[in-house]
Amino acid sequence: MSRGIKWTKEEEELLLKITNATEFESVAYAVESVSGNKRSAHATKMKWKKLQQTKVIVEETQTSSDWDAKKDLFLLVNFYDMSIDEVRQWFNCSYAECAGRLEQLIDSTELTVRERKEPYIPKIPSSRKEKRIIAKMNKLNDKLMRLRGETNE
């Protein structure tokens, strides 16, 4: 749970510029001069460490992607008609990578067809009052159907 004022983008960018910090009091003072938010040396050090960790994780997860608009279109159109070997040969990568890219382009967990709503089934009336209300509703519905000229068969 975070307390206090949240870190701004300017503050985080200033901390990311620091490669090896030992004097966090001076860094905290620099952060204060940039944004006007007073930060302790300990808070600055903890935020710097967290930013360094996330920076490493982001660098590990980023890979060079060879996917362009032409390959994406070809994948969308022909993926299901091609065999596994053809997919590997055409895209020069594993079948799993191609399937992953297809999953990024089209979210297959999202339903595109609307499901039908189930018809309304009234609950079985438990009290006498509910039975009378339902009987009255049925009577009015029958009267409406007769006025419209529809039969109730």
In a domain, 50, yes or no: yes
> With the CA atoms of 136, 138, 144 and 149 taken in that order, what torsion angle do they form, in degrees rounded to the nearest 10?
-150
Amino acid letter for position 80: Y
Decide if 2 is inside a domain.
no
| Cβ neighbours of 51 (radius 10 Å) | 16
- Judged against a pLDDT cut of 70, whether residue 150 lies above it is answered with yes
**Is 150 domain-assigned?**
no
State the average pLDDT over residues 87-106: 88
The answer to whether 98 touches 80, Cβ cutoff 8 Å, is no
Q: Above 80 in pLDDT, residue 83?
A: yes
- Which among 4, 5, 35 has a CA at the least distance from the CA of 15? 35
**Whether residue 54 is found in the same domain as residue 101:** no
What pLDDT does residue 136 have? 93
pLDDT at 1: 39
Could you give the residue ranges of the DSSP H alpha helices within 36-83? 41-61, 69-78
84 lies in the same domain as 33: no
Domain ranges, residue 37: 9-61
In this predicted model, what pLDDT tens digit does every residue of 34-74 receive, in sequence order?
A: 777 777 777 788 888 887 777 765 555 444 467 888 888 88
What are the backbone dihedrals phi and psi of residue 72, each rounded to the nearest 5 degrees, phi first?
-60, -45
106 within a domain of the structure (yes/no): yes
Residues 140 and 103 in one domain: yes
Structure confidence at residue 152 (pLDDT): 56
Question: How many helices (H) and strands (E) are present in the chain, helices listed first?
Answer: 7, 0
Within this chain, do residues 70 and 35 fall inside the same structural domain, yes or no?
no
- Total Cβ atoms within 10 A of residue 98: 20
